[in-house]
Amino acid sequence: MLLALSATAIVVIALLWEVCWPAMSEAIDRHRARRARVPTFDYDPGRERRAEQRARELLRSCVNEEEWDMYRDLGFVRVWGGMADGPERGAARDSLAGAPYAYLIYPHKPIVAYLPQTRRLLNEYCVVFPDESRPYGSPRLPDSDDVLAKWMALTGDEERLIAEANMHLPGRQVDPQQVKRDLWRLSEWERQRAARERRTGHGSVSAP
């Protein structure tokens, strides 16, 4: 009797093995394939922080003292425009001929053109500078590198940048109310900076 039961159990196990093994084998193969397709990297959580620190040091070495202080304190940089007929395109451009205008450069946001006298927002110019050197992770440059790339493009060849950028009306990607608050913060920052320089006798804030 015991021998018969043992034989029956062996037969049942053999049949179950024949039935289950193909599915188990397929599952094992899929698992191995997934592991082979996904490369593993030793992720360093401090990598992006160190990259941003290096980018800030590079930005500081390239821009002037006022621009660096502005970025450090406010998180954006103002660049004065240099084209005689202003940054707008089309018929409305004639109304800006000779008028001082400027740009605000934010990290990873469009460049915003505006009139300092009235704080009227003109346009947004969308430009992207991806980090082509990174083999993994986000293709975005560190914040300060993105600001520096836009600053170099504006100060080096403003007309070309404006002609090639994707232009949109204000509010497409950057909140106009936030920009107006930033312009108010900038005016207060300049006023306080000028007062400090008068007290210390270190000169005055540069004018456009």
Query: What pLDDT, on the 0 to 100 scale, is given for residue 18?
Result: 64
pLDDT at position 62: 95
Q: What confidence category does residue 9 fall into, taking pLDDT thresholds of 50, 70 and 90?
A: low
pLDDT at residue number 141: 87
Identify the sign of the CA torsion 23, 29, 30, 35.
Answer: positive
Position 10, amino acid? I
Contact 125, 114 (CB under 8 A): no
- Tokens coding 99: 């008028």
pTM: 0.69
Q: What is the pLDDT of residues 81-122, one digit of tens each?
A: 988 766 664 334 445 555 689 999 999 999 999 999 899 999
What are the pLDDT digits (tens) for 29-62? 665 655 555 444 455 668 888 989 999 999 999 9
pLDDT at residue 91 in the model: 35
Q: What is the DSSP string of 83-126?
A: -TT-S--SGGGGGGTT---EEEE-TTS-EEEEETTTTEEEEEEE
Task: Give the type of residue at 151.
Answer: W
The confidence band for 205, taking pLDDT boundaries of 50, 70 and 90, is very low
